[in-house]
Structures are given as structure tokens and as C-alpha cells.
Structure 1
């Protein structure tokens, strides 16, 4: 098999430097027309295929945006990645995907990062970084954007976690529930600094309604539907179980619903359940939730990254709205329940 043709081969045939060849092939304005024509003639004669790395030599860019995600199988990350990819593709750029997967992959990624300037911007989807990781990101000298979290003073897009939590808990309070459980989801390996907003919303909503906070009604579990099922089991084991449950994500909420039904309890007749996200399964299972625009967060992050590359002003913080979606998993508590006359 013949060796692939590279930019140096084109430059040699056209009798120009590789930098000039790169500028000519990328239609840089500061290249004489005769030189541009000669370079393109050489490229056609050699059947040269422009690579992102070669075409970026003259302008110091690669034409790519790196996207770093901790999960690929979870709904939010997939939806955000799809929204981002659509915008980047329409702009004629390429996406370079890094899947961290677990704590070891995360450590390896940040350890090797300074030597891997393979993109013009980095977008982090749905996880925070510590000071050392942020310093490594900043060291490679590219634009940094985050979606679903904040990274220092770099541009970011997210929902207001506190507002989303209040929408969910206030809905249960307005229905008349006073004994409300909360299932907190954690992902300690990949994001030890979980956003506090959803939990803070629960505590302040109860306080504003004059309801005493009972720590026994809060259960923390690793993220998964199975975790939600286990947490619901713990709440049902209390001497005074909740009449409603607020889960931090829809998938965890659906795990809780499964446990309730296996226990012979009706949802919402005996216990109401609400989540956050508006996962596609929420509509199919009639789960009340707070919808967040996952794909739009990815799209906004992509536009921020592209604007950064173009040297255009970027809004430092974009907060997208959430909305309460009332379905069949929430209702007023049954009469006779404590606190209900």
C-alpha cells in the first residue's frame, strides 16, 4: 500500500512552504492567487485529502471541539451531546469525544491533557472539576465551556437547580403533603461536588411551608433506578412513612415507583412521586416531573464554544428555564393521613 500523501508532499510539488500550502488550501486571504492555484493543482494531482491537523498548521487551530462526558448511557448526557453535535456539525467543525467512564479514566485524561492539544475548545458536559483539573484545562490554552455545571469563570449553561427543586417540592406541598421524602442521587467517583440546589430547595420549601425537617426522610443513594428502588424501601420501613417522595432524577423516581407497586401501594393513591428531568420514560409511565432542556443545554454550550473560537463576546452564564409537568403520579394525600383532616 502506498504511503498516504501529506501536506509536505503538496508543498514540495507546489514549491512552497507547508505553512503557505496550508493557508492556500484553507482559502486564507493573504495568499497570492497564482500561489493558491499552484497549490490546489498540486493537491489535485496528488489526490491529497486535507486533514484537520494539517489544515490547522498556519492558523494554529485544529477545527475540532473536544467534548468530555462522564456517561454515555444516561439520558441527560446523550441528549446534551446530540444537541451539541448538531450545532458543531452545522458550523463545519468536528467533535472529539472523551468518555471518562470511571475515576481511573478521569485521572488518566487530566494527567495526559497538557500534551494533547488536539482541539480548539473543550466542552465539559455535566460534571465539575477540582482546582488541579481546572488548572490543567487552562494550561492547554483553549476555550473552556461547561454545560450542567460551572467551571470557574468560564462560560457555562445550565438550569437553576434550586428553582427546579422548588417547582417539584412546592407542587407536593400545594397538593397538601406534609410528610415528604427526598431521594438524593450521588456519583462520588466522577463528581464528588454534587450540586446542592436540589437538596437545598427541599429544605427551604419545607421551612417556608412551616413543616419541620425530618432527616429520616432523606435517603442518599448512588445514581440508578435500582438505587431509587432501594431508597424507597428504606422510606417505607420508617415507622411514619412519607405520603409523597421527591426524587432528584426521573430514573431514580421510577425505581421508587417500582418498589411502591411491589409493596402493593398505589401511586398516587397511597404515595405520590415526582422527579426531575422529563426523561422520555416519564411521559410513557405518567410520571410527574420538572422538565429541563437537556439538548438545548448542549446546543447553547456548542454556540458558546464556537463564539469563543471566533473571538466573539460570550454570555458568561446562561440559565435555561425548567417547567413543572403534572402527570398521574402525584395527587393530594388520602384523607386520614396524618396532617390531613
Structure 2
């Protein structure tokens, strides 16, 4: 019975098969001068037949490159982050780079020294500006690109979240809504992030532009989860009951929050959109299943753009920082409609 263990093929095995010295094989496989074309081709044939792959650590010692990129993020299980990482991985794989994932959690910690000499660059996904996870990244001496967080002197892929908040709220205003709730006010978890506060600022701006002073009673704290949206709707019902002061529409800080709100609305026999309209943000893959209106952002494209920016800086250390702003799109579905009416169809 054959040994099931994987046998490592190294320089010595390639040298034995090709008939050349280990030193010659090493120079041939690294593309160094002093090796004839005929010898190089013979070595490459031997290496291919054995399934030889160079050790990444040995390559790093020789070239100073690891061909690995670190991605740091507060979460990886939430849809936004997993979708961004999917876009990053697509570009890195096509360019021969490995992705090393470092989730740290909002209250977690990342020792930047752990990345020293292990990666060629760092992608930071929506890392709060004040979070200790970003402390020390500058000292690594490798390029850094952020997604969703603007940092001076660092390349970034950004969404104008204030404009997103205005656009979502304006959609509800255009449908005649005046009592518009916001699900996404600051919690202990998202206080360090600017996304929720920026979207709420856009919500306030749109209301004031329409001559409506924002009512603090209509703002409900949530995280970015389905459970958070469900809890916010329950609190709204508890606060207003069936009174005329109850909101007729909800702007949720994310699609997942909106989905949680929709679920809770059914439990309270609130008809959507007749009794209450809902709009979220992100363009979640499952938003269409809930007929959810949303401000859709190109999430996977943000990962692709960020990865390309980072590889550009890895290969050209002299390249200056670049900020790329991506646009968003209103997608109208049946979760939003006129006050007391049905959902308009386009």
C-alpha cells in the first residue's frame, strides 16, 4: 500500500532527475544568468515532472517578496466583508498572490508586528480610525490600502455614505413620507465606525432640506445585523404602538438591518409598504428575495479595485496614494411605496 503522506519535492530531487548540480538547478529555476537555455529547459522539465513548487519562504529570503497580502477586518462572516474579500481574492489569485486573513473583532486586537516580513501589503476593510488594530501598520514598511476608511497618505476605496443617507431618505420623502425612522444610530459596537454616523448625517440633511426637523425619538440604535433590525422594530412598536406618531417608513443603515425589520413587521402584522416602507443599503445578494428597496453599492468591485491599487503599489513603491470613490444606485422594489398605498412599479 502506498504511503498516503505527501512527499515534498525539493531542489535535491530535481537535481537528481535532471543530472545537474543543486546550485545549477537553483539558478535555473530562479531565472538567474549563467545558465544556458538548454540547461534551463531541462531543469524546468524535470521540475514539472516531479510537481516541484518553490518554497514561498525560500523565495521570500531570496527576493524579499512573500507573494502574500494581509486582509484585516473586524468581521469576516458578515455579508459586506465576505463579499469584499471575494473581490479581493479574485484579483490576488489571478496575479499569483496568497491572501492571509486577519479578523480581529471590534474589541479584538491585532499586533501589527505579527505581519512583519510575512506579507507584501495590507488591505484594511472598514477598520475604525480609532481602533488599535491600525496602530503600527505604518511601521511595517509595506503598502496599505483601505476600503471604507479614509486615512491621510494612504490609498483608499470609498463610498460617500452621507450621500447614501441623503439618497435613501429622499426616496422616502418623494413617496410622501414625513415620519421616517432611522435604524442604525450609534451603539457601543459601531461607535468607532463612521459608516453609520455618516449615513445618519445624510438622513438628517435630507429631512432638513425638506423642512423637517429630525426627531430623536425616530432614531433607534442597532448594529449592522439582522437581529439588530428586528430589535429596533420591536422597540419602535413599543414606543409608538398604533398611534398616528408611528413612523410610516424606515431607513435602515444596512440591508441586513432592513431584513430584520421586515421580519419583525410581519410579527406585528404591519403591512409593507402600506403601513410602513423599508429601504436599506448595500445591494445584498438576498435583498431581492425580500423585495427590498436598497441603495446598492458595488461591494465586490470595491474589493477588486482595492486589490489592484495595492498590487500597483507593491510593484511600484514610488506610486503615490490614490483615493477611488465608487458610486451607488437606488434600486426600487416593493418594500417602499406611498404613504397608505401600495408599492409603485416601474
TM-score if structure 1 supplies the norm length? 0.84
Sort the Cα spacing of 1:133 and 1:259 in 2 relative to 1 into closer, same or farther, 3 A: closer
1:227 to partner: Cα distance: 1.2
Query: Within 2, Cα distance between the matches of 1:44 and 1:159?
Result: 50
Give the alignment partner of residue 25 of structure 1, picking from 22, 29, 53: 29
SS at match of 2:181: strand
Query: Within 2, Cα distance between the matches of 1:327 and 1:131?
Result: 37
Which stretch of the first structure deviates more once superposed, 31-40 or 65-74?
31-40
* Equivalent in the alignment of 2:305: 300
Query: Within 1, Cα distance between the matches of 2:239 and 2:173?
Result: 20
1:43 to partner: Cα distance: 10
1:169 to partner: Cα distance: 0.3
TM-score if structure 2 supplies the norm length? 0.83
Query: Within 2, Cα distance between the matches of 1:190 and 1:170?
Result: 24
Mapping of 1:76-225 within 5 angstroms?
Answer: 76-101=80-105, 103-104=107-108, 107=109, 109-110=110-111, 112-113=113-114, 116-130=116-130, 133-184=133-184, 188-189=188-189, 192-195=192-195, 196-225=197-226
1:4 to partner: Cα distance: 4.8
Give the unaligned 5+ runs of structure 1: 336-341
Does the CA contact (< 8 Å) of 1:288 and 1:330 recur in 2?
yes
Mapping of 1:227-306 within 5 angstroms?
Answer: 227-239=228-240, 240-306=245-311
Give the unaligned 5+ runs of structure 2: 342-346
1:215 to partner: Cα distance: 0.5
Query: Within 1, Cα distance between the matches of 2:231 and 2:268?
Result: 12
Query: Within 1, Cα distance between the matches of 2:210 and 2:9?
Result: 71
1:186 to partner: Cα distance: 5.5
Sort the Cα spacing of 1:36 and 1:65 in 2 relative to 1 into closer, same or farther, 3 A: farther
Does the CA contact (< 8 Å) of 1:113 and 1:140 recur in 2?
no
> Cα deviations across residues 181-209 of structure 1 (Å, max 9, x unaligned)?
00116674587233332011011111100
Query: Within 1, Cα distance between the matches of 2:187 and 2:89?
Result: 25
Mapping of 1:314-329 within 5 angstroms?
Answer: 316-329=322-335
* Equivalent in the alignment of 1:67: 71
SS at match of 1:87: helix
